[in-house]
Structure 1
Amino acid sequence: MFLPQGELTMTNDMESLQNAIYLDQVPESWTKRAYPSMSGLAIWFTDLLNRIKELEIWTSDFSLPSVVWLAGFFNPQSFLTAIMQSMARRNEWPLDKMSLQCDVTKKNREDFSAPPREGAYIHGLYMEGARWDTQAGIMVDARLKELTPTMPVIFIKAIPVDKQETRNLYQCPVYKTRQRGPTYVWTFNLKTKENPSKWTLAGVALLLQI
C-alpha cells in the first residue's frame, strides 16, 4: 500500500513474490493457476511462451498440426479423449468400448509435413527407467547416464477395445512431470520382448516434462 509520504510498504504476498523470483522459483500464486511443473522460473517461463506460441499457430487456421506437442496442453487428457470421441462419432461406436492404440514411429517431428487421416502424431515425450530402440521398435534397457531419452514421434489412434493387441505389450503410464502420482495422464501400450513385469518393477514411465 502507498503511505502519505509516497513510500511503498511491502506486503507478505509481494515479499513472497520477490523471494521466489530471486531464487528462480515459480511463485506459489502462479502455480495455483498453472500446469504442473518441477522446473525453475526461467525454464518454466520459456516453456510457457512455447505453449502460447504452439496454441497461436494452431488457432491461426484451426487445423490439426502435422505433429502435436502433447505436453503443450494444459489438459492433455482432453486431447487424447477427443481422438476417441472423433472416431467413435464417425463410426457410431460406443465411446466406452474404445481405446487408444500407440504406435511408435522411427521418425522425428521434422519428418512429418501433414497430420494422419485419423488420430494424431504426438511428440515431446521422454522415457524414464528404460529407452526405446528405434530400429527394433521395442523397449530395451536404459544406457548409463541416459536418464530420460527422447521418444520418437508416436502415432495415436482410437480403435475398438476388442481389437486392441494385448501380447508383448507393457502398459506404460504417462505423467506430466517426474513427480508422477497426481500428474498421471494416460497409459500407452508399448511393445516389448521382455516380460512386462520387468518394466513395472523398474518403474518405467513416459514423461511430458523433465
Structure 2
Amino acid sequence: CEQWRRWIDKGRPTAYWLTGLLQPRNFLNAIKQEHLRKKDKDNRDTQLEDLVLLSEVTKMEINDIKGHAEDGVYIHSLMLEGCGWHKRDSKIVDNPTRNPFVPIPILHVSAIPKKQRQWDYQVYEAPVYMDKTRTGGSVFSVEVRTDEPPAKWTMRGVAILASRD
C-alpha cells in the first residue's frame, strides 16, 4: 500500500526491481498494453497478441538512470547464472570468476510488433526466472549477444535470475 501511495504521489519509478512485483507477468503484459496506447493508437488493427517484448541489456548501472525510458521500462538488480558478462562488448562469455551469480547492467524492456523483431548479430534467448529454484517457469526471455553458438548456453542452463534466494 505504501508503494502504491508513493507511485501516486511521486509518479512511476525510473527503474523497477522485478522481485518486488507480486505479478511480474502482468507487469510485462502492461508494457505491451502501454505500447498499444502510445504507439499504435491510430492503428486499430494491432492487437496485444501481435506484440512481443524486446529486451536489451544496456551499459547503464542504476545510478546512471536519469529519467524514465522513452519507451518501455528499465529493470535493475538482475543476475546471470551459468556464464559471465563482458561489460565492454555487452555479451555473455565463459565465467572467468566462477562466481555462480554475475550481475548484469540495467535491462531495457519494451514492446514491438512481432514482424519487426530481428537481430543483426547472434543472440541467446536467456530465460528469466524469479529465483534460483526456477520453479513456476520463466517469466520472459532476454536476448543477449554471444559469439558462441546459442546451444552452448542452453546446454549450460544459462539463465537470468531476479533473485538468488
- Same structural fold, with TM-score higher than 0.5 when normalized by the shorter chain: yes
Letter in 1 for 2:19: A
Matched positions, count: 158
Alignment of 1:1-210 (within 5 A): 57-61=6-10, 63-90=11-38, 91=40, 92=43, 93-166=46-119, 167-210=121-164
Structure 1 moving runs of 4+ over 2 Å: 52-61
CA distance in 2 between counterparts of 1:132 and 1:59 reads: 36
**DSSP 3-state at the match of 1:60:** helix
Q: Which runs of 5+ in 2 are unaligned?
A: none
- The TM-score, its normalising length taken from structure 1, stands at 0.70
Identify if the C-alpha distance between structure 1 residues 146 and 178 changes in structure 2 by more than 3 Å, giving closer, same or farther. Answer: same
**DSSP 3-state at the match of 2:133:** coil
**DSSP 3-state at the match of 1:198:** helix
CA distance in 2 between counterparts of 1:69 and 1:159 reads: 22
- The TM-score, its normalising length taken from structure 2, stands at 0.87
Larger Rg: 1
Q: How high is the sequence identity, in percent, across the aligned residues?
A: 30
- Structure with greater proportional helix content: 1
**Which residue of 2 is the match for residue 23 of structure 1?**
none
Residues 3-46 of structure 1 show CA distances to partners (whole Å, capped at 9, x for unaligned) of xxxxxxxxxxxxxxxxxxxxxxxxxxxxxxxxxxxxxxxxxxxx
